[in-house]
Amino acid sequence: MDLQEFLNRPQKLLRIIENRTAELEKLYKLSLNSDLVLKAYKSLKEDLDVKLLEYAEASKKVQGTLEKLNPVEYDIIYSRYIRGLTMQDIADQIMYCKRQTYKYHDDAVKKLEGFINDCNKE
């Protein structure tokens, strides 16, 4: 798994969870009328529980890795990949110009790639 996939995994899992939750709500409304729909609901619920655990584990790994960064780099990477903010929004939030924000982002990405490569060697 490369750095981009590693950092984006929690957001991807969160979108899957949101979609599965919406599916569950629809099935729940239908489940009152059919045993077959109730079985589908239970199966989807079990899958959702697994995805929630995966999300928690992925978030914990990303969070632990990000804590190795300095505070500015941490804020930028966390805001970009966990909160999903644009670089312009992040620059405004931390009160740096967009160019400087990108520089900090690029520096942080290089550090994170090193951390991940070190972890993969172990």
Local structure of residue 70 (DSSP, 8 states)? -
pLDDT category at 1 given cuts 50, 70, 90 is: low
SS3 96: coil
The Cα–Cα gap between 44 and 32 comes to: 16
Question: How do residues 73-122 score in pLDDT, each as one tens digit?
Answer: 999 998 998 888 999 999 999 999 999 999 999 999 999 988 887 766 65
pLDDT digits (tens, 9 = 90+) for 61-82: 888 888 899 999 999 998 998 8
**51 Cβ contact partners less than 8 Å away, ≥ 6 residues apart:** 13, 16, 17, 20
pLDDT (0 to 100) of residue 110: 93
Residues 46 and 77 reside in one and the same domain: no
* Helix, strand, coil percentages in the chain from 3-state DSSP, rounded to 5: 85, 0, 15
Q: Which domain holds residue 14?
A: 1-66
Inside any domain, residue 28? yes
pLDDT confidence bin for 36, thresholds 50/70/90: confident
CATH number reported for the structural domain that contains residue 99 in this entry:
1.10.10
Same domain membership, residue 75 and residue 56 = no
Backbone angles phi, psi at 83, to 5 degrees: -85, -20
Q: Would residue 20 count as lying in a domain?
A: yes
For the entire predicted model, the pTM comes to: 0.67
Which among 23, 41, 66 is the end of a domain?
Answer: 66
